Chains A and B, each alone.
Chain A
């Protein structure tokens, strides 16, 4: 699904140049659930931004679902993002003046889906995250966990190949974090490929594979036994 070869990225600030990614090699198969870990400054967010086509690598190749991602103009990047990727952010990033349903329907709007169909599909995804009854509520009427669930529903709405989550539980307490992770695990069970950036061990262990980054290189990459939220007794 994702093939990355020798990826480099530097940031330039005045005369200083900061080499953030120093040759990343990394493959993700269909249906995997990968946690990307590392301390701050390790380059994990940069990697996620490149994977999400929000940023571009200086060097190296990136193939997503047999499509070479390079030399993107804004228009093409927007189309790929819409078709291939779903984003979940730490700070939810819902549009504040739109209802939960409208937020979820937004990617479909940019896909050119008709209004009635859009509402129907958005509703089914809201149902999937257990928020059917909250469809008409505004984001500020929802709890943090509910907001993140709306964001997940939105990320899923365009039926992307890959779900990219940047610290999805970073702003939530552990109980809500686990609820959110339970939903993400359920989505993964349906076969969706998922990448999660996190610095929390317990969250990482709910994935199937953990990739450790330090100073712009991968220092550790191993498959693990997934901890299923459903089977945890203390929740």
Chain B
């Protein structure tokens, strides 16, 4: 490998056939280029989907209601199903051991909030304190609403970051300020941020009990939200969440006299199940990308192998001379292998560097749904390097073997 003589010979032979070597190199380089770009976008898709699910806790289960579409037990379709506090109370008691965070929600789709001269229309949601964790929200000012607020029907709110920037002046401390919602004064106790972005941050949270009282909702709730206790493995967590969602769906349908096959009256959304579906899809896509990339590299490698065979054929006489003056078979094999590995590795690295450079430059600027920052990590780069060297060895081996088998007497006879 570090034999200077050998390197010189390789450069001499390459210099003799610049165009041929260049074209061979291009096929390998483009193979690696395509592989890396594909893998980069595979990673980008994974990043994108992960981000998409980041806006809520990934093991979240949400329940909401709609209008019945199927006649059941003599009741006509078209009834609007409403959940009650009692549904929630029953469920959290029954599944006390399974549930991690829990909340029911009463929602006003658009409440007008006013502070001084600024006002805006936002979703106003009455929730339990746990809702912070179900939403994956974190606080930038003050605190989230808490259980004492809830027990005492306090008129306090935690506002989203968007609401804060809309209503308040820059650097103004919102905590303790009074904001009017539908003409009622609420005291701001905190500001939250949400990885889901602006849409998720243009909401106002207040205690559920307060919301039911001020908006005359009685004991009605719009949504239920749960997260389940963490499990040791993804598979277990998935199994648990599927079982849990099925059970609560059955329970709620029975209690509200909804047909089991009615899909619109009671909806249970299982984030984990959804996430798994996406992750499975991405795993498949990534595998597919690897296969396509490897096939492209194989095409390149076969090209190198082909060229090396031609080179061996062309140099038959020279190899015969070398053997006649004392070259051992292994030195011939080494010579051909070395050249093949050099061409593959050099061209491959060129492809690797250009593709990684390209990903580095355009990666952060890619703004497509479900694709975020396509990139390859160091391990993948390292793997492709090994793939390259293996490919070069493979490409060179058969031609080298053939070269070593050349009989000097026959080679020299070919004048």
Name A's B-contacting residues (CB within 8 A). Answer: 49, 52, 54-55, 74-75, 78-79, 81-83, 87, 89, 91, 93-98, 106-107, 109-111, 115, 154, 158
Contact = CB atoms under 8 A, between A and B. Distances in A.
A82 B326 contact: yes
Interface stretch (B145-153, B227-235, B407-415): B407-415
What 10 pairs across the A-B complex have the smallest Cβ distances?
A82-B326, A54-B409, A110-B326, A107-B325, A78-B328, A93-B321, A74-B329, A54-B408, A81-B326, A55-B409
Contacts of A110: 322, 325-328, 331
Contacts of A79: 326, 328
Contacts of B331: 110
B325 A75 contact: no
B110 interface: no
Nearest to B13: A97
B300 to A, nearest CB: 27
Contact of A74 (B4, B328, B415): B328
A111 to B, nearest CB: 7
Interface centre among B318, B326, B328 (most CB of A within 10 A): B326
Contacts, number: 63
Contacts of B324: 52, 54, 81, 87, 93
Given A55-B409, A91-B415, A97 B12 contact: yes
A127 B412 CA distance: 27
B16 A97 contact: yes
Contacts of B12: 97-98
A95 B326 contact: no
Nearest to A83: B326
A158 B322 CA distance: 13
B317 interface: yes
B409 A78 contact: no
A75 B318 CA distance: 18
Given A54-B409, A82-B326, A158-B326, A93 B317 contact: yes
Contact of B327 (A54, A78, A97): A78
B354 to A, nearest CB: 31
Nearest to B326: A82
B409 A49 contact: yes
Contacts of B5: 109, 115
Contacts of B330: 75
B286 interface: no
Contacts of B322: 95, 106, 110
A49 B324 CA distance: 10
Contacts of A107: 325-326
A78 B16 contact: no
A54 B326 CA distance: 11
Contacts of A96: 318
Interface in B392-408: 404, 407-408
B325 A158 contact: yes
B412 A89 contact: yes
Contact of B412 (A83, A93, A111): A93
A103 B103 CA distance: 87
Given A49-B409, A96-B318, 17 more contacts: A75-B329, A75-B330, A81-B323, A81-B325, A83-B326, A87-B325, A93-B317, A93-B412, A94-B321, A95-B322, A97-B13, A106-B322, A110-B325, A110-B328, A110-B331, A111-B326, A154-B325
Contacts of B321: 93-95
A110 B331 CA distance: 9
Interface in B305-346: 317-318, 320-331
B328 to A, nearest CB: 5
A190 B357 CA distance: 66
Contacts of B412: 54, 89, 93
B326 A78 contact: yes
Nearest to B330: A75
Contacts of A83: 326
Nearest to B315: A95
A93 B323 CA distance: 12
B235 to A, nearest CB: 57
B13 A78 contact: no
Contacts of B327: 78, 110
Contact of A78 (B317, B329, B415): B329
Contacts of B325: 81-82, 87, 106-107, 110, 154, 158
Contacts of A154: 325
B327 to A, nearest CB: 5
Contacts of B13: 97
Contacts of B4: 115
